[in-house]
Structure 1
Amino acid sequence: MIPRFGKTPLRGQSYRRRPGAYAILYRDGHLLMTHQVRPSPEYQLPGGGIDPGEGPITALHREVFEETGFSIAAPRYLGSYRRYAYLPDYGYHAEKMCHVWLARPILRRGPPTEPHHDACWMTPERAYRLLPDAGSRAMLRRSGLIRGTA
């Protein structure tokens, strides 16, 4: 069973399943994160929705590039979780199926192409404190990059 994090689904509300590919990007003791300025400022694992007809690894590479400007190598699947959310950019409620990989950022090919996103480096411990999503924090713990966790 895929664990659920966050809010309980609203009774009577229909949710559209939205699969997504996300990355924990680690190099030289730091994580490459994305800082989304709008609709509200927050730090996130780079990633996003898997488009219809797109494979998860293809989506992972595309989303990381869009949100950070980096290419990546050696993705290793860590796990999945789900959460329920309203997606204001799309105008619907979603059951987000978040698939997470650990990968290495290799080369910055340019600035992020996703509007209102900036790439930033930080320690895994700082990223853990700043991530607003309990599922992302659980995956970061699972990666073993946070001191004192497996």
Structure 2
Amino acid sequence: MIPRYGEQVRRGLRYRHRAGVYALLERGGALLLTCKADDPDDIQLPGGGIDPGESPLAALHREVLEETGWRIGGARRLGAFRRFVFMPDYDMWGEKLCHIYAARPVRPHGAPTEPGHRALWMPAQAAAPRLGNAGDRAFAQAYAQGRLPR
């Protein structure tokens, strides 16, 4: 069974399934994260939706590059969680299936290419409680505490 985090399902709403990939990217005890340039407190794991016809790993590489400007390697899946949430960028309610990976940030390739995103580094223990959703927080905390493979 895939754990669910966040809001309860709201009756009367139609949710659209949206699969996505997100990365725990550690280097020297710090995590590479992303935030919106206009809202630096909205800290997130880099990642996003898997486009039609795209493999999860290709989506992971693309999303991390778009949101952080970094290339990654050695990606391995750690697990998944579900969340039901309004997605303002798409003006829809989504049932998100979030696949979480651990990977190595290999090298910076430039600034994030997705408008409005900024990359930041934060110690893993400090990052976990600051992440924007409960599922990301749970995976980051387990990772920081050594309960997930590195």
**Class of the TM-score when normalised by the shorter of the 2 chains:** over 0.9
Conserved? CA contact 1:72–1:105, under 8 Å: yes
Report the CA distance between 1:45 and its aligned residue: 0.1
Structure 1 runs (4+) greater than 6 angstroms displaced: none
Amino acid across the alignment from 2:85: A
Instruction: Report the 3-state secondary structure (helix = DSSP H, G, I; strand = E; otherwise coil) of the residue aligned with 2:96.
Output: strand
Structure 2: tracts of 5 or more residues without a match: none
Counting aligned pairs with the same residue, the percent is: 49
Distance 1:110 1:10 in 2: 41
Report the CA distance between 1:132 and its aligned residue: 2.0
Q: RMSD of the alignment, in Å?
A: 1.4
Count of paired positions: 147
Distance 1:38 1:53 in 2: 32
Alignment CA distance shift 1:102-1:84 (3 Å): same
Structure 2 length-normalised TM: 0.93
Conserved? CA contact 2:38–2:116, under 8 Å: yes
Structure 1: tracts of 5 or more residues without a match: none
What's the counterpart of residue 126 of structure 1? 126
1:105 lines up with 2:105 in the alignment: yes
Structure-to-structure mapping, 1:1-150, within 5 angstroms:
1-37=1-37, 41-143=41-143, 145-146=144-145, 150=147
Report the CA distance between 1:22 and its aligned residue: 0.3
Structure 1 length-normalised TM: 0.93
Amino acid across the alignment from 1:60: L
Distance 1:41 1:91 in 2: 22
Conserved? CA contact 1:78–1:142, under 8 Å: no
Amino acid across the alignment from 1:44: Q
Conserved? CA contact 1:23–1:102, under 8 Å: yes
Report the CA distance between 1:41 and its aligned residue: 4.5
